[in-house]
Amino acid sequence: MFIVNSYALAVVLCFVTMLCWGSWGNTQKLAAKSWRYELFYWDYVIGMVIFALLLAFTAGSIGSQGRPFLQDLGQASASSILWILLGGVIFNASNILLSASTSIAGMSVAFPLGVGLALVLGVINNYRVAVQQGSKTGNVVLLIIGVALVVCAIVFNGIAAGKKGESGVSKADQRKGVILALIAGVVMSFFSSFVMRAMDTTNFVAPAAGKVTPYTAIVIFTVGVLLSNFIFNTIVMRKPFVGEPVSYSQYFKGDFKTHLVGMLGGAIWCLGTALSYITAEKAGPAVSYALGQGAPMIAAIWGVFIWKEFKGAKKNVYWLLAAMFCFFIAGLATIVIAGN
């Protein structure tokens, strides 16, 4: 299987993770022109599963290093599988809330608040797991400073969100979008640490018996997302946060292009997540997760400059957004140095 053999390459791939995690929301924005996010989310999950399987049977099965996908899956312990499935369920619960927030408040608000908060809490969880497993942890002081800078970025974004210009969304719904993002962030912070428990992040070439490789992990993870989606997404379809309920019959009336956009979104997210797992050995679980979670900055760039989500806002709001970008960049740079 394909294995990352250097810290430098791991950092590069972590930045690809960041781009993927910060950009998949664009597919939701594109589909939203004629498609409710609850319907989009089904295509998103399907795309996620398909892409995970493609990765597993290609990059996860080639070469002489590590266990190929099917062999690795066959030797996985029940506890490892259950940990990853639980991670998938937790992620799905949080991501549905994040998608709801994106549909209400926009990418430039939902991602910095929700995913930014998940970064802060998730780094703590992943660092704790790394210490328990004896994995690479990096410089803890610099890691704390980097996370603190990201917290400052989240605060600036939160203030800017409160001063957002007229967007066609009521103040009450805007507030609901912010609350959903914050809840999503808290829940999302836990999923990665559960997955890392099932992986031998100290040795991908010869992982411990019962533990799984990143490629097996991403497949099991997406299956957990798919199975839980029959519960979580069915609930929000019937009891949406905003708007009228939607039905499964509406989903099957969607055209091929609309479904394809949603599946593309799932594939983009899946690539980013797989790379986050693949880089965990060389970068360390905490650092690989933290760098990937720089996604809020990418999403904010899309939301502010492409989707014009702050159009009509006062000049001081753009100063707040500029401060947010500066603190995010400084925080990510510090995290990179912390892991070296």
Task: Return d(Cα 49, Cα 59) in angstroms, integer.
Answer: 15
Residue 114: closest CA among 128, 126, 100: 100
pLDDT confidence tier of residue 340, bands split at 50, 70 and 90:
low
Torsion over CA of 40, 45, 46 and 48, rounded to 10 degrees?
130
Residue 284 zone, left/alpha/beta (φ > 0; ψ -120 to 50; rest): left
**What does the DSSP assignment read for 69-88?**
HHHHHHH--HHHHHHHHHHH
pLDDT in tens, 192-241: 889 989 998 888 999 999 999 999 999 999 999 999 999 999 999 999 99
Q: Tens digit of pLDDT for each residue in 13-32?
A: 988 998 999 899 899 989 98
Radius of gyration of the chain (CA): 19
The answer to whether the beta carbons of residues 160 and 317 sit under 8 Å apart is: yes
How far is the C-alpha of 86 from the C-alpha of 96, rounded, in Å? 16
Q: What is the pLDDT of residues 290-330, one digit of tens each?
A: 777 677 778 888 888 888 888 878 888 889 989 988 998 89
109 and 137 in contact (C-beta within 8 Å)?
no
Q: What would the two tokens of residue 197 be? A: 């428990």
Which residues share a beta bridge with 29? none
Q: Once rounded to an integer, what is the mean pLDDT over residues 109-113? A: 82
Distance CA(39)–CA(282), nearest Å, equals: 38
Please count the CA atoms within 13 angstroms of the CA of 114 that sit on its side-chain side: 33
Which two structure tokens, joined as six digits, stand for 121?
């809490």
> How many CA atoms does the CB half-sphere of 15 hold within 13 Å?
10
Q: Is the pLDDT of residue 134 over 70?
A: yes
Average confidence (pLDDT) over 240-249: 93
